[in-house]
Amino acid sequence: MREPTGVIVSINRSAGGVPKLPVAEVFVGEQGLDGDGHQFHMHGGPDKAVCVYAIEIIEALQKEGHPIAPGTTGENVTIRGVDWDRVVPGARLVLGEVEITVTDYASPCQTIVGSFSDARSKRISQKVHPGWSRVYGRVVTEGVMRVGDAVTFVVHPDRGLQET
């Protein structure tokens, strides 16, 4: 059983670096979004193919005075309506036609300091501020995702079972 929970509000990509700019739809393969490049070797690869973030977190950071927006911290997919506390390594999400397994939290780096009023990107570090981090995902099922597509949980880490 799949549990519809949210929606894709922004899909973001760039030839390399940030900000990643919005597109209406994109094909996603095992290495990530078509047309998306990575400026440094530490980003990308199968375990970091897709970076996902919650618009609710972005909006909360904006209320703190940070100039963050979808794509400015390098996330590929910005979603709404998902309990972000459940988006942890091992969770499985369907984003449009694309299924991913969350592999890890995305560590902030110096390239995204412009998204923070105090230039401290560690504001979204899982180690420093648990629950405020972006996440990386491995592509399980390739396909197309579009702005407005549903976001669905498939695996619930708290239950440890895949649902079909």
What CATH number does residue 78 fall under?
2.40.33.20
Span between the terminal Cα atoms of the chain, in Å:
5
How many structural domains comprise the chain? 1
Pairing mode, if any, of strands 3-13 and 21-23? Answer: antiparallel
* H or E element in which residue 27 lies: strand 25-29
For residues 103-117, average pLDDT: 93
> pLDDT tens, 69-101?
999 999 999 999 999 999 999 999 999 999 999
Percent of the chain clearing pLDDT 90 (strictly above): 79
Instruction: Tell me the residue range of the domain where 8 lies.
Output: 3-162
Q: Give backbone dihedrals phi and psi of 54, rounded to 5 degrees, phi first.
A: -95, 130
